């Protein structure tokens, strides 16, 4: 699951004093006063003695009549209406602006209510006949939220026709200048980053990081650093640490320096257990330098691993190499289907008639794996329907999209050859985040598929390239670190470990690592990371030290028994929720569960699999590519943090967008009522 702020920030929030405001409005318009729980005279709307009412209604007791007898004013907020306003409209005002008004009792104060923590917006009485005025700073904050969710730079709001559109609605609307939006974004980024840093200080287990890279339209090379861990409730937590520019020439050295800077800023160098990279040589060199640095400082074990998803993507590209011209034809056909309602209806009817399945439109026509496999699927499962649609609409489509027999045969062979890949990718996209142990099992299955199947001659060269890439991946993950991570997956243990990774020596090394780092106390990893190694120095020791060492040896035996007992039991079913299993069994294995909590956080992929294999990734790539340098870090980080559940914060104050939306809806209702009032006159 994604990073849950309710869990990750719980301890931090308990320590942080509550702010006296739950939102910020800067600067406030002259027509609005913000009451912050004080009783200052300037914040209180004076009451006036009502004149005798000429009409009766249950709503009138919540309004008071002005001395001139021409207007009525709401006792809750001070909003004024013409004396001729229908009581039904007054009732709508109360329902929209003051839900629960009828439960406040008979005696309603004629002055604005005072609140202790939540800002109350009091509108000054408006001149008769004029529409209620709105604080348009609220609009600017809502636009900031829109820019974040849409991943758009502040320069978007500088487009004059957008500003003209707002002016059309209300000529008095004033948007902030572009530089002010940028300054606000920078301050929001700094404030929220401090919250992330503070939350990571509360993490008691080891963490894993993942690196991703891309270049923008400005030819600036960026690196994103994501951190993942398992909290004390046995839930995956993930947070984006930073998006930083990697200086030219963007080699391993520059990547390493940028990465270390981020780790030090968050003070997590001693907590990092692993790094998953994007398989590039520069990233490998950077991770190697980081390992040497951490080993030199004796920070504990550290391992870097390649991204399994990117390895699979490269392997699939090799398999699709010979069919690219055919896939291009089918993709053009699918794009025509998506663009024309008539043609798509023809296809649906023909597919039903030929019993070639049901198809949901729009079809995936992306150039990613999901789209390419969809093209193969259409030819294999709905080939007759495709031919019939092309012939029926030949005047529009021409005959260039018709596939000959040889092309159809090629598609059928590749489709069958890639079916195991389709199943594996579907599994890792659905079961997120996939554990490294289960991914190793999947990759072993892919290796068997490539080795055992005899492809036709035209597919042999691609198959050899596929096998080469897979061997490279296996060589990088065949180590004691990955072995320990895999056996701690209760679905795998030693039974499902691939042969290339299964070793008697690895099991003994795993035992030694477990005893050395987790045997001292049941929850050592949870409280202070790895304990120091129990190394017996030479020389004389005291009698007390001899007793202590005897106790340690007994403790080591008990700890070893935990691992032995765990491995002796049958693996859990493959559908088992790994973290739920450990949550239930942590009392049986108090020391081993501490190790599992560290190692199961290792990330098998450097990106979310569905963002790499599905059309969803196209939108992300476009947003990254088009974002200007002065907005990339702030916008993308803030978006990730808010999607993870973190409240948008300006300086030390949270922006209460729910409250802003309520105020916007209420203002719209007031304007509507004012319009109705004007018509009645």
> Against a cut of 0.85, is the pTM above it?
no
Q: Does the structure show a pLDDT above 50 at 49?
A: no
Instruction: Tell me: do 321 and 174 sit in the same domain.
Output: no
In a domain, 276, yes or no: yes
- Kindly state the tokens that stand for 249: 């020439």
| SS3 state of residue 325 | helix
Whole-number pLDDT of residue 56? 53
Residues 468 and 487 in one domain: yes
Q: Is residue 350 part of a domain?
A: yes
Q: Are residues 340 and 377 in the same domain?
A: yes
Domain count within the chain: 4
Structure tokens at 535: 């190394």
For 424, which DSSP code? H
State the DSSP code for 271. G
Does any domain span residue 82? no
In a domain, 31, yes or no: no
Best CA proximity match to 322, nearest among 386, 417, 399, 421: 417
CATH number of the domain to which 232 belongs: 3.30.420
Residue at 98 is within a domain: no
Task: Report yes or no: 484 and 508 within 8 Å, Cβ to Cβ.
Answer: no
Helix segments in 43-170, DSSP class H? 87-97, 136-150, 160-169
Q: What is the token pair recorded at 148?
A: 């974040």
| 459 and 581 together in one domain | yes
Kindly report, residue by residue over 612-636, the tens digit of the pLDDT: 999 999 999 999 999 999 999 999 9
pLDDT at position 679 = 60
631 and 673 together in one domain: no
- Where does a domain end: 542, 574, 605? 605
Residues 644, 568, single domain; the answer is no
> Nearest 5°: phi and psi at 418?
-95, 0
Mean pLDDT of 455-463: 93
Q: Give yes or no for a contact between 582 and 597, defined as CB atoms under 8 angstroms apart.
A: yes
User: Half-sphere exposure of 224 toward its Cβ, with a 13 Å CA cutoff?
Assistant: 20
- Position 681 pLDDT exceeds 80: no
The answer to whether position 611 is within a domain reads no
Same domain, 510 and 389: no
pLDDT in tens, 563-588: 999 999 999 999 999 999 999 999 99
Q: How far apart are CA 122 and CA 73, in angstroms?
A: 12
Q: Where is the domain boundary, 388, 418, 448?
A: 418
**Hey, what are 182's tokens?**
């940028």
Residues 188 and 298 in one domain: yes
Buried b (16+ CB within 10 A) or exposed e, 307-330: bbbbbbbbbbbbbbebbeebbebb
Is 541 a domain residue? no
In a domain? residue 361: yes
The neighbour count for residue 194, using CB atoms within 10 Å, is 12
pLDDT at residue 38 tops 80: no
> Checking phi first, is residue 313 left (phi over 0); if not, alpha (psi -120 to 50) or beta?
alpha
User: From residue 655, how far is each of 26, 145, 149, 326, 661 by CA, in Å?
Assistant: 11, 10, 15, 52, 11
pLDDT over 70 at 121, yes or no: no
298: left (phi over 0), alpha (psi -120 to 50) or beta: left
Looking at the fold, whether 399 and 263 belong to one and the same domain comes out as: no
Instruction: Indicate if 200 and 265 belong to the same structural domain.
Output: yes
Which of residues 418, 453, 475 is at a domain's end? 418
The range of the structural domain enclosing residue 670 comes to 136-183+654-678
Do 263 and 196 lie in one domain? The reply is yes
| More confident site: 128 or 446 | 446
Mean confidence (pLDDT) of the chain: 82
pLDDT digits (tens, 9 = 90+) for 190-230: 999 999 999 999 999 999 999 999 999 999 999 999 999 99
- Assign 642 a pLDDT band (cuts: 50, 70, 90): very high
Same domain for 372 and 267, yes or no, is no
Distance, CA of 181 to CA of 634 (rounded, Å): 11
């Amino acid at each position: 699951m994604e990073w849950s702020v309710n869990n990750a920030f719980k301890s931090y929030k308990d320590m942080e004093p509550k702010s006296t405001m739950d939102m910020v409005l800067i600067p406030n318009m002259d027509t609005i006063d913000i009451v912050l729980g004080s009783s200052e005279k300037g914040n209180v709307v004076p009451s006036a003695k009502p004149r005798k009412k000429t009409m009766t209604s249950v709503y009138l007791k919540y309004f008071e009549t002005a001395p001139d007898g021409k207007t009525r004013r709401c006792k809750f907020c001070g909003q004024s209406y013409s004396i001729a306003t229908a009581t039904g409209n007054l009732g709508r005002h109360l329902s929209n602006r003051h839900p629960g008004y009828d439960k406040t009792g008979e005696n309603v104060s004629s002055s604005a209510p005072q609140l202790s923590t939540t800002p109350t917006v009091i509108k000054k009485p408006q001149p008769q006949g004029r529409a209620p005025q709105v604080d348009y700073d609220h609009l600017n904050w809502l636009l900031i939220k829109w820019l974040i969710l849409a991943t758009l730079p502040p320069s978007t709001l500088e487009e004059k026709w957008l500003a003209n559109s707002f002016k059309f609605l209300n000529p008095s609307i004033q948007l902030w200048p572009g530089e002010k939006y940028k300054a606000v974004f920078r301050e929001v980024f700094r404030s929220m980053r401090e919250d992330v840093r503070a939350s990571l200080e509360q993490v008691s287990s080891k963490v894993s990081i993942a690196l991703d890279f891309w270049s923008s339209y400005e030819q600036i090379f960026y690196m994103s650093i994501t951190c993942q861990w398992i909290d004390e409730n046995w839930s995956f937590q993930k947070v984006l640490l930073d998006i930083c520019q990697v200086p030219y020439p963007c080699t391993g050295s520059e990547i390493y320096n940028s990465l270390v800077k981020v780790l030090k800023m968050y003070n997590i160098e001693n907590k990092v257990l692993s790094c998953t990279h994007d398989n590039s040589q520069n990233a490998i060199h950077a991770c190697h330098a980081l390992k040497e640095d951490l080993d030199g400082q004796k920070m504990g074990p550290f391992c870097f691993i390649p991204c399994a998803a990117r390895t699979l993507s490269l392997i699939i590209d090799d398999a699709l190499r010979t069919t690219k011209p055919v896939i291009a034809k089918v993709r053009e056909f699918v794009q025509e289907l998506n663009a024309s309602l008539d043609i798509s209806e023809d296809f649906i009817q023909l597919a039903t008639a030929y019993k070639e399945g049901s198809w949901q439109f729009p079809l995936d026509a992306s150039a990613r794996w999901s789209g390419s496999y969809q093209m193969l699927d259409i030819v294999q499962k709905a080939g007759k329907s495709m031919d019939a649609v092309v012939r029926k609409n030949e005047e529009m489509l021409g005959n260039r999209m018709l596939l000959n027999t040889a092309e159809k045969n090629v598609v059928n062979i590749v489709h069958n050859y890639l079916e195991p890949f389709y199943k594996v990718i579907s599994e890792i996209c659905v079961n997120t985040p996939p554990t490294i142990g289960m991914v190793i099992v999947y990759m072993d299955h892919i290796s068997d598929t490539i080795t055992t199947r005899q492809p036709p001659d035209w597919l042999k060269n691609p198959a050899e390239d596929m096998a080469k890439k897979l061997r490279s991946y296996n060589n990088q993950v065949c180590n004691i670190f990955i072995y320990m991570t895999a056996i701690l997956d209760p679905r795998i243990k030693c039974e499902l470990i691939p042969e290339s990774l299964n070793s008697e020596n690895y099991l003994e090394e795993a035992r030694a690592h477990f005893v050395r780092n987790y045997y001292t106390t049941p929850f050592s990893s949870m409280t202070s990371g790895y304990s120091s190694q129990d190394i017996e120095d030479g020389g004389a020791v005291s009698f007390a030290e001899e007793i202590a060492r005897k106790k340690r040896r007994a403790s080591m035996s008990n700890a070893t028994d935990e691992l032995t007992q765990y491995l002796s039991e049958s693996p859990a079913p493959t559908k088992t929720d790994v973290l739920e299993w450990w949550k239930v069994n942590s009392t049986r294995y108090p020391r081993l569960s501490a190790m599992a909590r560290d190692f199961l956080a290792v990330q098998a992929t450097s990106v979310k699999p569905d963002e790499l294999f599905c059309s969803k990734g196209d939108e992300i790539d476009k947003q990254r590519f088009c974002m200007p340098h002065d907005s990339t870090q702030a916008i993308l980080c803030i978006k990730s943090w808010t999607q993870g559940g973190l409240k948008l914060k300006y300086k030390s104050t949270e922006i209460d967008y729910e409250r802003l939306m309520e105020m916007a809806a209420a203002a719209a209702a007031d304007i509507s009522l004012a319009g109705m009032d004007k018509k009645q006159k």
